[in-house]
Amino acid sequence: MGPHWGATSPCGGGLRYRNWLLDPEARTLAVAGVPVPLTAHEFDIAALLVRRPTKVFTKQEIFEQVWAEDYFVEDKTINVHISNLRAKLRPTGTDTYIETVWGIGFKLGG
């Protein structure tokens, strides 16, 4: 485990990445203790990224794992959800945690 994240938090069962703490059971994300309201898909995207923080996910991988369906939509569906997630995170100063890897997809960084 790297210095910025761990598979579990002191609270137990949580996923941590830098200032983010995701609770998969409650399906909540908090930034430095402040809750950030997310849709189900936004939470699932954030959790997917946090579970594999060094992986670059293609839009197809994100869609197939979050929607649990074969990839059949245009790229803009994923882009819209990532954009909405970043917009909700912007007030917390952590929207830059989600990086665009041009021509491939998205990963954690920032």
Distance CA 93, CA 8 (A): 23
pLDDT at 23 over 60: yes
pLDDT digits (tens, 9 = 90+) for 27-59: 999 999 999 999 999 999 999 999 999 999 999
Of all residues in the chain, the percent with pLDDT exceeding 70 is 85
CB atoms near residue 102 (< 10 Å): 6
Q: Minimal CA–CA distance to 31: which of 93, 107, 110, 109?
A: 93
* pTM of the predicted protein model: 0.83
Question: What's the CA gap between 8 and 23, in Å, rounded?
Answer: 10
**What is the residue extent of each domain of the chain?**
8-108
The first and second tokens of residue 37, run together, are 């309201």
What confidence tens digit (pLDDT) does each residue in 70-87 have? 777 666 889 999 999 999
**Owner of token pair 């998969």:** 24
Class of domain 8-108: mainly alpha
